[in-house]
Chains A and B, each alone.
Chain A
Amino acid sequence: MRYLYIAGSLSVLWLLLSGHFIALILFLGGLSVLGVTLILWKMDKTDAEPIKLRPGYKFFHYLGWLFWQVVLSNIDVARRIWSPSLPIEPCWEKLDTEVSTTLEKTLYANSITLTPGTLTTDVSEDHFMIHSLSPEGIEDLRKGEMQRRILKIGLKS
């Protein structure tokens, strides 16, 4: 069932990217979709922990919020770069985290890196190492709003 879902979305993606409806090309497209699904099936069997990310409404809601944060922190970093006195105080500190599953950790670390001004340099069992352009960046992360929103999506790995 899951593989049907994957093959279906892959076919839609292929059609959107190709835009040709000739029999031969459609056939080749179908063949490649089949190949990718087959490889995925074999990989799931080998490592025995299939990753299930169902992009639902909550996930896209989080992405919208994340993009807004990216815009805000871009403005902040641009302001710091252009001010003549260069008001930066780089710091490199430990950030305690509560996210538990691999998928949530990946999402959290990548979200931190995506917003300019903060950068994940290391991921451990219960903490990340964060490099930040200013102490405010790390303080904002410690308040934990991003983590709360990620936990609210409810990803099960």
Chain B
Amino acid sequence: MSILLDWASGFFFFIGGLLCITGGVGLLRLPDFFSRVHAAGVTETLATPLLLTGLMLQMDWSLDTFKVFMIMVLILATNPTATHAMAKAALIGGKRPLVANQKQESKKGDQTSKT
């Protein structure tokens, strides 16, 4: 039984870690702020719960298991608010999202503004 639990939690850790790396790669590869927010969403909405589930399977059954579960609920409940606040702040600050058909153009503009 405990070997089964070990394998299950190992599986959750593996997938969670993989998704964390995916989020990081997405942050580097995607072109602008608003699409990067989506990449950050991958780490927050699925990778973190998977890692915490893996942790819960490793723990002995006690009140601490419930506390880890509460952390998971808290992260999932606050994530949309934080993401929305970030996007809204960027919009108010004058950032406009890249849209597909004018992608090339704005990309050039972005580069020139950086240099």
Contacts and interface: CB of A to CB of B under 8 A. Distances in A.
Contact of B99 (A19, A74, A90, A109): A90
A38 interface: no
Given A78-B19, A82-B25, A110 B38 contact: no
Given A90-B35, A121-B84, A16 B99 contact: no
A90 B97 contact: yes
A77 B98 CA distance: 17
Interface stretch (A24-32, A49-57, A111-119, A148-156): A111-119
17 contacts: A17-B70, A74-B42, A77-B38, A78-B42, A81-B30, A89-B100, A92-B34, A109-B80, A110-B81, A113-B79, A115-B45, A117-B41, A119-B87, A131-B34, A131-B37, A131-B87, A133-B38
Interface residues of A, number: 31
A70 B79 CA distance: 13
Given A17-B66, A78-B22, A92-B97, 15 more contacts: A71-B46, A74-B46, A82-B22, A86-B30, A88-B30, A90-B31, A90-B97, A90-B100, A109-B84, A110-B84, A119-B34, A120-B84, A121-B84, A131-B37, A133-B38
A44 interface: no
Nearest to B28: A81
B76 interface: yes
A82 to B, nearest CB: 7
A122 interface: yes
Interface in A125-153: 131, 133, 135
B38 A113 contact: no
A91 interface: yes
Interface of A: 16-17, 19, 70-71, 74, 77-78, 81-82, 86, 88-92, 109-111, 113-117, 119-122, 131, 133, 135
B66 A16 contact: yes
Given A109-B84, A114-B45, A81 B99 contact: no
A7 to B, nearest CB: 19
